[in-house]
Amino acid sequence: MDNTTNKSSALFARAQQSIPGGVNSPVRAFRSVGGTPVFMQRASGAYMYDADNKRYIDYINSWGPMLLGHAYGPVVAAIQERAAYSTSYGAPTELEIEMAELIVSMAPNVDMVRMVSSGTEACMSALRLARGFTGRNKFIKFEGCYHGHADAFLVKAGSGLATFNIQTVPGVTAGASMDTLTAPYNDLEAVEQLVNDNQGAIAAIIIEPVAGNMGCIVPVPGFMEGLRSICDREGILLIFDEVMTGFRLAAGGAQERLGIRADLVTYGKVIGGGMPVGAFGGRRDIMQHIAPLGNVYQAGTLSGNPIAMIAGYTMLKTLQDNPGIYTQLDQTTEKLHAGLADALAIAGRPFVINRFGSMISVHFSDKPVTNFTDAATADNALFNRFFHAMLDKGIYLPPSAYETWFVSTALSDEDISETIAAAREWAGAL
């Protein structure tokens, strides 16, 4: 199953001597799909080029941030210009205010926002804040949802862990996860049950409003509305983890697309335009509990870093000024969806394509995929063969059936046609 080039194989062998597993984030190692990861040297627009200069049409887009394609000119120029003014001060800047004001103007129900350096930090901090604000300890998360790698979230946490079939995580103590309650995605009754069994003890319900860490999974009608009304009834904070969906599904993210109000929202990925950035925000009365205003502690030496801020600001401003980008993303993804559905049908194997906006994924399943169990019982071995065939043909899909694909505006009609043709060729030969 080694489809990769000599340079990537050599680099992977070398990497494993000094980096655990040869990678700095587990899914990159291709363990689930087998074979050798492809080492990249550069990217531009819709294309990445590996160490041997082979070109790939990219459907990962750095797991989301490259919404406008790689090396987007204005973002690159802004980073270059700012770098000359020093790369960090450890003191406040006007740029941070501009970034906060921009986020507040785009994101519904966000009165105040604090910048951090990753989605993990954003979710970890939002949960701490929810606990501090409500004075309660427990929280509900959904099976297959990923909220970063903070201890309390590493329970039934989708993608990376599902890819490696990690059930319990060594190093996470029972104490750290005993307040984590889990329910199946899209199962409102299970949530009602947990709430009844833990009256007055639940601080928050955290959810990916469109899930992307078990493939793409869409909330069924009424589910989010139900969560909102349970939270209102019980004094529980609803946290939308919009690390994937924020600024991707719409300028106002999933809150805007689904028409559901969250109490706290976490952001990452797109918000940094490719730099390491995250953020959490929400209602003013909740956010005022954070230090130095309140006593819920949260901090970061490089938080609000000027290079990260100018990259993120330039990205978000482009999105705010060009709402047509979202129409374009939706149309491109629709085209991909329709073409893939036609192409894969040739194989005569059951499959399901889930899509919401510019998030899309393929599960080889004979029934609808609406939760983690559905995703896990699909024919993921067949997905792995599909992945490698596509990779050979220069189409770079996420290396796991538990990941959503991310579409960018850089993809042309020709790129989509080439992708569909590759899928058709694979399906025809199966």
Ligand X SMILES: *Cc1c(COP(=O)(O)O)cnc(C)c1O
What positions carry a catalytic annotation?
A: 146, 241, 269
Counting contacts by CB under 6 A, is residue 388 touching ligand X? no
Contact 413, 51 (CB under 8 A): no
**Which residue stretch of 118-126, 178-186, 357-365, 376-384 sits at the interface with ligand X (rule: CB under 6 A)?**
118-126
Please state the length of the chain. 430
CB-wise, 355 or 424, nearer to ligand X?
A: 355
What minimum distance in Å lies between the beta carbon of 213 and ligand X?
Answer: 6
What contacts 185, CB < 8 A, 6 or more positions away? 142, 143, 144, 145, 207, 211, 214, 217, 219, 370, 371, 372
Counting contacts by CB under 6 A, is residue 123 touching ligand X? yes
What minimum distance in Å lies between the beta carbon of 267 and ligand X?
Answer: 9
Task: State how far the Cα of 183 lies from the Cα of 187, in Å rounded to an integer.
Answer: 7
DSSP state of 354: E
Of 212, 215, 281, 399, the one binding ligand X by CB under 6 A? 212
What minimum distance in Å lies between the beta carbon of 370 and ligand X?
Answer: 18
What minimum distance in Å lies between the beta carbon of 161 and ligand X?
Answer: 13
What contacts 20, CB < 8 A, 6 or more positions away? none
Binding mask 125-154 for ligand X (x = CB under 6 A): ---------------------xxx------
- Rounded to a whole number, what is the largest CA-CA distance in the chain? 63
User: Which residues between 191 and 210 bind ligand X (CB under 6 A)?
Assistant: 208
Angle subtended by helix axes 73-83 and 306-321, to nearest 10: 150
What minimum distance in Å lies between the beta carbon of 145 and ligand X?
Answer: 7
Counting contacts by CB under 6 A, is residue 119 touching ligand X? yes
Binding mask 257-276 for ligand X (x = CB under 6 A): -----------x--------
CB-wise, 50 or 241, nearer to ligand X?
A: 241
**Which residue stretch of 101-109, 112-120, 128-136, 308-316 sits at the interface with ligand X (rule: CB under 6 A)?**
112-120
What minimum distance in Å lies between the beta carbon of 56 and ligand X?
Answer: 21
Counting contacts by CB under 6 A, is residue 312 touching ligand X? no
Site for ligand X (CB under 6 A): how many residues?
Answer: 15
Neighbours of 37 (CB within 10 A): 22
Angle subtended by helix axes 94-106 and 306-321, to nearest 10: 30
Counting contacts by CB under 6 A, is residue 118 touching ligand X? yes
- Omega of the bond leading into 292 within 30 degrees of 0 (cis): yes
**Where does 166-279 have alpha helices with state H?**
174-177, 188-197, 223-234, 253-258
What minimum distance in Å lies between the beta carbon of 126 and ligand X?
Answer: 10
Tokens linked to 215: 């493939």
DSSP state of 296: B
- Beta strands (DSSP E) in 212-293 are 237-241, 264-267, 278-282
**Which residue stretch of 117-125, 186-194, 221-229, 344-352 sits at the interface with ligand X (rule: CB under 6 A)?**
117-125
SS3 of residue 120 by DSSP: helix
User: Which residues between 229 and 248 bind ligand X (CB under 6 A)?
Assistant: 241, 243-244
CB-wise, 35 or 252, nearer to ligand X?
A: 252
**In the bound complex, which residue of the shown chain has the CB atom lying closest to ligand X?**
119
Contact 227, 221 (CB under 8 A): no
What burial letters (b/e) apply to 368-395, b meaning 16+ CB within 10 Å? ebbbbebbbebbbebbbbbbbbbbebbb
**Which residue stretch of 1-9, 43-51, 114-122, 288-296 sits at the interface with ligand X (rule: CB under 6 A)?**
114-122
What is the Cα Rg of the chain in Å?
Answer: 21
Residues that bind ligand X (CB under 6 A): 118-120, 123, 146-148, 208, 212-213, 241, 243-244, 268, 278
